[in-house]
Structure 1
Amino acid sequence: MTIVVLFRGNCGLSKCITRYLLGMAVADLLVLIFGVVMSEIMDSYFPFSFLNYTPICSVNIALLFMSIDWSVWLTVAFTFDRFVAICHQTFSKKYCTEKTAAVVITVVCSFSVIENAPFNFIFEPREIINDVPWYCCIKPSFYTLTIWIAFTCFEIILTPFLPFLLILLLNVQTIRHIVQANRVRRGLRGKNNSEDQHDPEVENRRKSIVLLLTISASFMILWAVIFVMFIFVNFTDAQLTETNYNAPFTIMEQTGYMLRYLSSCTNTFIYAVSQSKFREQLKNLITSPVTIIINLFKSVK
């Protein structure tokens, strides 16, 4: 529904912002499909479906990580776009365009596919039943071979360490610029703080930053456990995907995965809370089938 509402383009947002939000919504939906439906639900309730064949399982995991990287880096791209629009308005006329947004989304998606292709080669069958390989288990060589260790470090730096730092840095700079701009505008207008609340320019700045900060803050909070988990993996003997669900690290790991999936569910609610026109369009989308049915009955009578 979020994708449909954003695609219709009646939310009062610029085409550039709409492109980024639409790309993030698609990426989040893919995370839920490959991570929750294809992995968690299918594994729990349909343990011997064809999706659990090792070759298909490994492709599904690669697509899951591709979707996660796509979602994360589109959040970074959106944060950078708003940083440019607010802090560098001269450059924003060239950068903050629908065309640039489309190019950035395409590059991020393409790089995510290429970057996560090696995940197809790090798994081996967990079980072999009647000569058929089932499920995915990480190969022991993944933890010892230099090339895989380097790949793991690259992946961890790329997601989530670097996005964390970039989003934090860009938001700090954006907030600082808005505070300074509002202070200058207040001085030029010669009004007090209560009157500033009715300043249309100040209100527009506040509205533009609410969406940015809520999306960025949600990402950082819900990814915090994964962030800590990767630190543990690099500085302790802990290993990922252990099956002992009573171990503290495994509990933290599974909690981190749950919150990471939750991060892909929150953006719709963020849009609804921060954007009145989005709420209006969502309401119209929900009620329009009912309205059509009522009108149909009226016409029949």
Structure 2
Amino acid sequence: MSLGFHIKLQILWAIFDVQKIYYPLLAAVCVPVNVVTIAILSRGKCGLSKCVTHYLVAMAAADLLVVIIDLILRQVPIVYRDQFFFLLHVKMCNIHAILLYAATDCSVWFTVTFTFDRFVAICCQKLKLKYCTEQTATVVLGTVTVLSCLRNIFWYFLYTSEYWLSNSPWFCRVKIGVSRSLVWTIVELMHYILTPFIPFILILLFNALMVRQILVSNRARSRLRGRSSGESPSDPEMENRRKSMIVLFVISGNFILLWVVFMVCSVLRRLDYLGYSVSPPTFLSEISFMLQLLSCCTNTFIYAVTQKKFREDLMNVVTCPFTMMLKLIR
């Protein structure tokens, strides 16, 4: 046994030990965090438009589903497989896979549609009035949800109904002869291209175009205000635009950073299974799962840091039980 292999094995076992604490703790945080986020945003008192609120609520709801279906019903049983060994006798893994991948697709593509909505609002002023509406947001989110469900039905036929209880992209047992077939290879590569490779490209493209447009608009606006006033006073419009863009860029950057390791590891594993010696270390794959699932609860903290009204509502929700207890005591 080489020294490098021994080190990798030690790192892997250390990560397994961390996961036994990390996954239950993450679930305990993510579920209430997303529920509270949905409740606060649904009230519509955060100073956001109804259109933006629809997207943010949908993103939080999709993240909540991923936490339940992936983190609680998949990752936790895998790291505690000795206690959940009975799942090997539960015959519904292929259905579980459809729900998991559909929820994940929704979580990813809701972020893309939100980014595109903001792109239209900033860069396409003529289209803005027609597209950036509550009705359009509802139609777009509904369409993404339906397409995500339909796109993942094929997993029912590629997987068996038996759980594998292995922490890999294929957490169900695969039908004999399918995993090395050309059809499986095409389907799986397309799966990772559609989620999350294409979303990465689209989000980066839309953000780059928005930055360009904002810089041009801000320079023109600053020149006009400077000529009219003779000085450079604060501009509320530019300040609001700056705050909105900070939220969008942080959400987009957070998504890309936490998903990129998972995407690279998944593609390399598929290529290795086809005979190319490019398999990533197993411990890196484990880290990729941990980072991907972390993305399901980070948006709430982003809102809390960047949105004053959201932060105030969040504080009210957190302090409400203590306030009620004090009133009862008095």
Same fold (TM over 0.5): yes
- Report if aligned partners of 1:43, 1:52 keep a CA contact under 8 Å in 2: no
SS in 2 for 1:137: strand
1:188 and 1:272 map into 2 onto residues whose CA distance is 34
Q: Of 191, 198, 206, which residue of structure 1 is paired with 2:234? A: 198
1:173 and 1:126 map into 2 onto residues whose CA distance is 44
Q: 1:37 offset after TM fit, Å?
A: 0.7
2:315 paired with 1:283? yes
2:185 paired with 1:153? no
- Report if aligned partners of 2:158, 2:174 keep a CA contact under 8 Å in 1: yes
2:103 and 2:326 map into 1 onto residues whose CA distance is 40
How well do the aligned residues superpose, as a CA RMSD in angstroms? 2.1
Task: Name the structure 1 match of 2:132.
Answer: 96
Instruction: Out of 54-63 and 99-108, give the one that drifted further.
Output: 54-63
Task: Name the structure 2 match of 1:48.
Answer: 85
Task: Name the structure 1 match of 2:208.
Answer: 172
Task: Name the structure 1 match of 2:73.
Answer: 38
- Report if aligned partners of 1:238, 1:249 keep a CA contact under 8 Å in 2: no
Letter in 1 for 2:234: H
Q: Deviations over 1:225-269 (max 9, x none)?
A: 122224424544479xxxxxxx85322222211111011121111
2:273 and 2:184 map into 1 onto residues whose CA distance is 16
1:108 and 1:176 map into 2 onto residues whose CA distance is 28
Q: Of 53, 62, 72, which residue of structure 2 is paired with 1:18? A: 53
Letter in 2 for 1:175: V
126 and 268 in structure 1: CA distance in 2 versus 1, 3 angstrom threshold: closer
Task: Name the structure 2 match of 1:7.
Answer: 42
Letter in 2 for 1:48: F
Letter in 2 for 1:41: V
- Report if aligned partners of 2:106, 2:144 keep a CA contact under 8 Å in 1: yes
2:220 paired with 1:184? yes
Letter in 2 for 1:38: L
- Report if aligned partners of 1:196, 1:202 keep a CA contact under 8 Å in 2: no
1:265 and 1:105 map into 2 onto residues whose CA distance is 20
2:64 and 2:179 map into 1 onto residues whose CA distance is 31
2:135 and 2:184 map into 1 onto residues whose CA distance is 37
1:57 and 1:126 map into 2 onto residues whose CA distance is 5
196 and 143 in structure 1: CA distance in 2 versus 1, 3 angstrom threshold: farther
Q: What is the aligned residue count?
A: 280
1:52 and 1:198 map into 2 onto residues whose CA distance is 63
Letter in 2 for 1:205: R
Q: Deviations over 1:190-242 (max 9, x none)?
A: 27xxx757211110110110111010000111111122224424544479xxx
Q: 1:140 offset after TM fit, Å?
A: 4.5
196 and 70 in structure 1: CA distance in 2 versus 1, 3 angstrom threshold: farther
Task: Name the structure 2 match of 1:73.
Answer: 109
TM-score where L is the length of structure 2? 0.79
52 and 13 in structure 1: CA distance in 2 versus 1, 3 angstrom threshold: farther
